[in-house]
A and B are shown apart, each in its own frame.
Chain A
Amino acid sequence: MKDKSIGGGNTTMLILRLIENEDMYGYQMIDALEKKSNHVFALKAGTLYPILHGLEQQEMITAYDGVSEEGRQRRYYQITKKGRKLLDEKKKEWETYASAIKNVMGGISYAEV
């Protein structure tokens, strides 16, 4: 239910997954997502920041000002304990969903069509 307010459950899951092991700033996330998904996911900044700010208000992530590799000051996001818990839940939901799809798709026999 909560997902709708922070804009799409799967995007939230992907964002949390990205910063699970490393703090990142907004642009870095879009960049990483694009690379990791072989350019399948192209997240717009306009979608990303409302989600990030929403997650921050829900205390799933916290933000701080850090310095990027290029030496610029950027707003970094860090996952919180609460955020990790949410990510775990999302992962489980996704696994159930993905295996359900797989079962259905795998069950179709093209020979009979």
Chain B
Amino acid sequence: MLRFKEKLARKIRTGADTATAEVIDADNPKRYADDSKRYMEAVCSQIRHQKVRCYIARELEDHIEDRKIRLIKAGIPEQEALQSAISDMGDAIEVGQELDRIHRPRPEWGIIAVTAIMLCIGVYVQYYLSRIAAEGSWAGREAFYKYMTTLPVGIVVLLAVYFADYTVLGKYPKRIYAGILLLSSVLNLFDGQIGFYRHNIDARYQMVYIALLLLPAYGAVLYGYRNSGYGGILRCGAAAFMAILVLGYSQQKYVLVIFAAGGLILLSAAMAKGWFAVEKKKAFALVYVPTLLSIFGFFLLKVWRYGEEKNLFLEAIKGKILISQETPDGFLVLFARSIIKNAQFIGQGELSPMVNSNTTRLEEILPIWWGDFSLTYLIHQWGIVVGILTLTIFTFLIIKMIRVTFKQKNALGFIISLSAVTAIGMQCLLFLSANLGMCLLVILPLPLMAIGQMSFLVNMVLLGLLLSAHRNLDIILDLQSVDRL
């Protein structure tokens, strides 16, 4: 590899030399431009990170141009001025090698390592749970097989996204956003299961993953509306509203809430960064006043309704927010809480007093113990130490992701990374708050570790996007940069 590089370097160097010799005699102005181009090619040939090449070339070309103009003003003929400007730059190969050293693609080893550790733990945990499930007639038996078949696919997906050009999102934000919305509208048409290559997919439950994938696309839409003033903010609001309409049509209303919360975080970040080039206070008022009013209006509308719908709504509030034992949701939270209270620090805990005396196994009473409540279950089986370990791993992952996000100098990279952190962070919060007996809004699988094929794949895509943005940290895309500090 190295020898090949040296060869290439020599070839280009000698090529550049002969070109110089030709140009001095030639009277053709086009040749001069070629000469500057050849110099740039020689520099770029040394830079392995392909994507930064054109940005560097532009800067160096500008430099040669400035120098040339200065020399011409000083009375030097154009040909000589260009030659002198190029030779003032320094040796092309050396300059290229120096720049290559600085602009290497940077893998984020911390996050890659945590992902690998999480996958290993995930495999072991799924294996353990499936073995217990095999003892009874529990539905978790097949989960391990499914997890293992999805694992390689997920890894391929992550690598594909990692090496792909994430800047495509910035080039066609509206098309990609509209495409995902269209897909979700199609999924909405199916009320139940869709058969798909020997798998039955429950369309309704997949909507949430579409909403999560919609976040990076929405981030790219925000990026596309930079410097477009209050009108841009309104258009971004309209784009979010379109998604809320489509997702709201789905039977799972929480999907809409997840997208709306994530989208609001992204929009707020974009406004805080001054992307729209307007007064920040007014921009925030423009977004938050209608948002809060519509949330308030929604609650009012629900409470004012009569009959069953109103009762269902009040019941949901009682269960999810007030955590009343009389509702199924509230009961589950209190149950998880009592399981954790009766757990050992290390080792199997006692059965919660809420379990009636005929039951001897937690699996018989804890719903989806092999999936949605797997952490609560493992805390009972292995001890509180499991909970602490899980919290530590995810806190580390999220903090690492946030740091990577705020290191981004490039606006598109920043918003894409932020959307990945937001999406993954929200899933963690929802899973952990239910499993640790805090509150149960809705449970989504714990990213990468709990059962759920779609969940696994979507989170691999999100991680891939963040890593890809970090890898290409240097790319300077923002031609009309507004990120002036």
Contacts and interface: CB of A to CB of B under 8 A. Distances in A.
A27 interface: yes
Contacts of A25: 62
Contacts of A63: 476
A64 B484 contact: yes
Interface stretch (A9-17, A44-52, A92-100): A44-52
B66 interface: yes
B292 interface: no
B253 interface: no
A3 interface: no
A65 B90 CA distance: 24
A57 B474 contact: yes
A44 B89 CA distance: 6
Nearest to A55: B102
Given A57-B474, A80-B485, A45 B89 contact: yes
> Which bracket fits the contact residues of A?
20 to 34
Contacts of B385: none
Contacts of B485: 62, 78, 80
Interface in B253-275: none
Interface string A63-84: 1110000001111001010000
Q: Which of A46, A49, A63, A80 has the most CB of B within 10 A?
A: A46
Contact of B98 (A31, A50, A73): A50
Nearest to A7: B98
Nearest to B101: A50
Interface string B445-485: 00000000000000000000000000000101011110111
Interface of A: 7, 25-27, 31, 44-47, 49-50, 53-54, 56-57, 62-65, 72-75, 78, 80
Interface of B: 56, 58-60, 62-63, 65-67, 70, 88-91, 94-95, 98-99, 101-103, 409, 474, 476, 478-481, 483-485
Given A45-B89, A65-B478, 13 more contacts: A27-B62, A46-B95, A49-B56, A49-B60, A49-B95, A49-B99, A53-B102, A56-B409, A62-B483, A62-B484, A75-B58, A75-B59, A78-B484
